[in-house]
Amino acid sequence: MISTEIERELAQATQLQRQGQGARAAEIYRKVLKLSPKIAPAHYNLALLLKDQGKPAAADKAFKSALKCSPEYVMAWTAYARFLSDRGRHRDAVRASIRAAHLQELSGPAVQELADRLKAAGRSDLGSIGEDALLLCLGRRDVSGDGTILAVLTRLLAHPALKKLLSPGIGKDTSEKLLEEPRAAAAFFAALTEPMVAAAFTSLILPLREVEQLLIFARRVAQKSQMKIPIEALAVLALQIDLAEYALPTGESSNGAPSDELRAAVFSALMAPLDPKAAASLLEKHKEALVTKRYTRELLLRQGPEKLRERLLKDKLIVLSASADDVSHKVQAQYEESPYPRWRGLRSGGEVTLPALVKSLFPGLVIPKLKNAPKVLIAGCGTGRHALRTIRRIIGADVTAIDLSRTSLAYACRQAEDLGIKLRFAQADITALPDDLGRFDLIECCGVLHHMADPEAAWKGLIRHLAPHGLMKIALYSENARQDVVAVHQLVGDKLSTLDLDDVRHLRQQLLALSEDHPAAPVTRELDFYSLSGCRDFLFHQQEQRFDLSRIGGALKNMNLEFFGFEFADPRPLAAYRQRFPQDISAQNLANWAEIEIGSPTLFRGMYQFWCRPLS
């Protein structure tokens, strides 16, 4: 029981802490703890202060005391996990984060937090706790697991039945020979249905050339083998091939399909997607048998009913404007055939108001007149992840999302339905927006303008749809960061504009065969390289322009826009800027950024992502 006096002291200390008067606040916490050593919030707040004061050992002790006094203290477990993670103590961080997640009944935000800890852990050895954590994170619709890929690959590379087959740099011949050995093959197919391995193969694209090689051989062995490979192992394999959208080279089909209908379907799905109606009817017909075959069921579900629903949603889409010029036609055709990205889990957590979000991104600036429940336009929403994330991220956001591609929009609508998120989708060309589209407090146009004939003109057109004091978030390709892609374009030459999907498959194999020191080789280490739509978007786009900071500076000036700064997923670039230019607290100077970019040309690999608004 906390006395009123102590409560008052704690309130005063918390206020001082918020005002940045850490030393005085710490004094009060210590005084309170001397009188009542079991007050968990006092230990917890003291831990935060000590952490900020650069006293990790004392902070660690204070976190532990808080958790000893109150073992169900969620906030303290979460903060402790982050603290440990920042200090490279990844195994302990993941353990603490699992604890926090369970205390929150494995809610989306709590499991997302755990996925973030796994991301920070990268390739660290997490022991068996890593597997427990991955099993909680993978395959959830309300959690983005993409950040856990390194942790996943690390576990797979250590797996007894996989490690030889996936050993880095293993040649094609060796890998194929290994898998032809019946015992190794049996162990491999048995491993596929182990919970962690199956979760990895069925929920994430595994972006490793050795995995791709293995998929090709495993598919061949499965086709030729007399061995009775369990249908569920085949389904796991097919789900990974499906996630990569059949980017593998087209292989030979099996001679003589199995007589069992379900087995025949799974075999067929190793080579090409099933006909959606056929998949849906198998799902219905074998409902009972499929109760015990979760991966086969999942495969039929993804290739059947999900696709059929998208077709229906596509027919119902509102059209605001159709493709307005040649470039828009070509770009639309690409995304109709290859909607991108084919995401599955949506990031949870981190909800804030627009003013709070902007403040957290640009703490050094005062940006007045921001709406609390903003009207938002996502211009070029693709398959919807961006729009759905914005609606989740910004409290009260009323979102309209437009794109050229009806197939992409249909994917987005289906995902929104599945996640129970409400927003408006419509087909429209950004270069020909109707006047009555309305005015928006925030327009986000990310990864889109550089696919147009005249990006600056389209950007200017969007400004007409800003409400007074409205903000823009723009993301554009960096010339410096995409030099490996430029090298790919040089290899492909004039054929770039006429590539079909088989050409993309073929070119992928050529790129995988390049020597490590070839300027185009780095592209094979990117996630997007490992799916067909990703690879098209990343490497073989119908229309691509790249920017540098002087072109962006010129556009901002011409359009009379005030630049607020870059948004990074990772805090390190900003820290590097502050260290180099300590006098420029707001980090808004593009010339300074250009200098930093010279030193690290891939700094903006994730695009120049920045916020701006018209000068009033």
Q: List contacts with ligand SAM (CB under 6 A).
A: 328, 331, 335, 340-341, 380-382, 385-386, 403-405, 408, 429-431, 446-448, 451-452, 537
Q: State the helix-helix crossing angle for 455-463 and 549-558, rounded to 10 degrees.
A: 40
Tell me the C-alpha distance between 7 and 32, whole Å: 9
CB 529 to ligand SAM: min, Å: 15
Beta partners for residue 292, in sequence order: none
- Nearer to ligand SAM by Cβ, of 328 and 480: the residue is 328
CB 535 to ligand SAM: min, Å: 13
CB 199 to ligand SAM: min, Å: 24
- Nearer to ligand SAM by Cβ, of 41 and 534: the residue is 534
Nearest C-alpha neighbor of 161 from the set 177, 180, 176, 183: 183
User: What's the one-letter identity of residue 185?
Assistant: A
- Nearer to ligand SAM by Cβ, of 89 and 536: the residue is 536
Tell me the C-alpha distance between 177 and 221, whole Å: 11
Tell me the C-alpha distance between 142 and 161, whole Å: 31
Element of type H or E holding 276: helix 276-285
What is the full DSSP assignment across 4-70?
Answer: HHHHHHHHHHHHHHHTT-HHHHHHHHHHHHHH-TT-HHHHHHHHHHHHHTT-HHHHHHHHHHHHHH-
CB 328 to ligand SAM: min, Å: 5
Neighbours of 215 (CB within 10 A): 20
- Nearer to ligand SAM by Cβ, of 312 and 457: the residue is 457
CB 474 to ligand SAM: min, Å: 11
- Nearer to ligand SAM by Cβ, of 371 and 451: the residue is 451
CB-CB contact of 613 with 471 (8 Å): yes
In the β-sheet with 608-614, what is the strand arrangement from edge to edge? 318-319, 424-427, 398-403, 375-379, 440-446, 466-476, 608-614, 561-566
What is the full DSSP assignment across 68-106?
Answer: HH-TT-HHHHHHHHHHHHHTT-HHHHHHHHHHHHHHTTT
CB 314 to ligand SAM: min, Å: 14
- Nearer to ligand SAM by Cβ, of 210 and 537: the residue is 537
Phi, psi of 566 (to 5 degrees): -90, 150
- Nearer to ligand SAM by Cβ, of 200 and 404: the residue is 404
CB-CB contact of 343 with 556 (8 Å): no
Nearest C-alpha neighbor of 317 from the set 418, 413, 444, 389: 413
- Nearer to ligand SAM by Cβ, of 296 and 408: the residue is 408
CB 424 to ligand SAM: min, Å: 15
Name the residue whose CB lies closest to ligand SAM. Answer: 382
Tell me the C-alpha distance between 205 and 208, whole Å: 9
CB 382 to ligand SAM: min, Å: 3
CB 334 to ligand SAM: min, Å: 8
CB 353 to ligand SAM: min, Å: 22
- Nearer to ligand SAM by Cβ, of 343 and 362: the residue is 343
- Nearer to ligand SAM by Cβ, of 189 and 340: the residue is 340
